[in-house]
Amino acid sequence: MAPNTTPTKRAKICTMRAAGYSNDEIRAALTGRHDLSDHQIYRIVKRYAEKENYYEVMPRTGRPHKLTPRDTRIALRHLSNTTAHDASDLQRVYFPDVSVQTIKRTLRAEGLEAHIRRTVPFISHKNLHVRKTWAEERLEWTVSNWRAVNFSDESIFHVFGSDGMEWCWRKPGSGWTHGLQRRR
């Protein structure tokens, strides 16, 4: 069947064919968005001429999609406003009956790509100001001043978030700030 043929267009094709019009005359009479090929006209006539039920839609073959277009829009919205961070979050919170691979496949079909989330350490405005004044006070220090300072190794304690890689989904070419997450 021709793409986007309406029941009205199907009825006109069948009626014109029954009246003896050629395919070229049918095409000329039905000026529209899509050009109809001879094969498409033949299939429409074969399928609908005898039944005269131009509204009948044949059942589609194949398995239906697990995520509807509405579900896909919801997933994209949750990723864009960061209520979900990745496909695993979407599956766990919003679509528990859908596999993570299916969600990833749907996101890729929408033009998104998975990227490693960049993290920026969370520094409050007060601490930012304190750090800046500390650095400005020591701007004129000499090497002998710095030798008097004892340095120690730092230990990392993750109170919030993961210490491993985290992923985000974004469109190619979008700014790196889209996948940015502040550590708190």
Q: Check whether 137 has a pLDDT greater than 70.
A: yes
> In angstroms, how far is the first alpha carbon of the chain from the final one?
57
Residue 183 has a pLDDT of 46
Is the distance from CB of 82 to CB of 166 less than 8 angstroms?
no
Residues 36-70: pLDDT tens digits?
A: 888 888 888 888 877 777 777 777 788 888 999 99
47-56 pLDDT tens trace: 887 777 777 7
pLDDT above 50: residue 184 = no
Kindly report, residue by residue over 104-126, the tens digit of the pLDDT.
Answer: 999 999 999 988 877 777 788 99
**Top-confidence residue, 60 or 96:** 96
pLDDT at 167: 80
What is the structure's pLDDT at 3?
A: 57
* The pLDDT value given to residue 174: 73
**For the whole model, what pTM was predicted?**
0.49
- 62 to 59, 132, 178: CA distances (angstroms): 10, 63, 36
Which of 2-11, 22-31, 65-74, 97-106 is least confident? 2-11
